[in-house]
Amino acid sequence: MPTAAESLAADFAGWDRLAATPPPDLDPWAVTHLDLLTAAAQRGTAALAHGDTLAHTDIRADNMLIRTDGRIVIVDWPWGCTGPAWLDTVFLAVNVIVHGGDGDRVLAGLDRDAAHAVIAGFTGYFQHTCRQPPVSALPTVRAL
């Protein structure tokens, strides 16, 4: 089974790709801070190299089923890997924030620097990927 660092290193290089040719619609703050964002994403990749916990890496609301007894079952595991025990918590926090929840509450007790570095890598992935052509099998996946 791959490690999280092996699985996500290419995805977390999104800021590197954007820095090579910054798109005209990239937020001006991001353009002036590409060096910091790239460095943060690299720290995120490094943080993923530690740990041997099974990680889902796509934790979000539509990959969780709540059973009648209240237990949660995590489904859809195509990107399972091993990594730090806190990794899925960070990805869950991103989903909570996207849906208007308190991500800081989800991240309470975690190493904030590592969590922020992983979020920087994840953000670079989305900033780069959203500018790519549509995927033929999923033509609406990148639609706004």
| pLDDT tens string 8-28 | 999 999 999 999 999 999 999
* Whole-number average pLDDT of the chain: 94
Structure confidence at residue 144 as a pLDDT band (50, 70, 90): low
pLDDT of residue 63: 95
Where does the chain have alpha helices with state H? 4-8, 14-20, 28-32, 34-47, 87-98, 103-107, 112-129
pLDDT tens figures, 30-71:
999 999 999 999 999 999 999 999 999 999 989 999 999 999
Task: List Cα–Cα distances, 37 to 15, 31, 110, in angstroms.
Answer: 7, 9, 20
> Is it the case that residue 142 has pLDDT exceeding 90?
no
pLDDT of residue 136: 84
Tell me what percent of the residues of the chain surpass a pLDDT of 90: 90
Q: Does 143 fall in a domain?
A: no
Structure confidence at residue 143 as a pLDDT band (50, 70, 90): low
Task: Domain of residue 75: give its range.
Answer: 4-129
pLDDT tens figures, 84-104:
999 999 999 999 999 999 999
Q: Does 139 fall in a domain?
A: no
Element (H, E) at 74: strand 72-74
- Residue 99 has φ and ψ, to the nearest 5°, of -95, 15
Instruction: Assign residue 89 the CATH number of its domain.
Output: 3.90.1200.10
Provide the number of structural domains found in the chain.
1
Q: pTM of this prediction?
A: 0.89
Q: Does 44 fall in a domain?
A: yes
Q: Does 87 fall in a domain?
A: yes
